[in-house]
Amino acid sequence: MYRAYYAGYADALNKNLIVIHPDEFIHALKEIDAVASAVVKNESQVTDILKHLVRN
């Protein structure tokens, strides 16, 4: 799974990672979620996170 490769690569480079996926993929992507800075269900949640980071 190439997504796991990129998640591992981002983790090795100490980069933040936001993962987007619906609830039904939680178990299948648990290793990727473990290295993510945030796990969200949709793009609007990513926007909310980025707005928060820019304000602070």
Whole-number Å distance between alpha carbons of 35 and 48: 20
What pTM was estimated for this model as a whole? 0.80
pLDDT for 3 equals 77
In degrees rounded to 5, what are phi and psi of residue 40? Answer: -130, 170
pLDDT for 44 equals 97
Q: What is the pLDDT of residues 2-55, one digit of tens each?
A: 678 888 899 999 999 999 999 898 888 898 999 999 999 999 999 999 999 999
pLDDT-derived band at 1 (thresholds 50, 70, 90) equals: low
Query: Which structure tokens are listed for 2?
Result: 């190439």
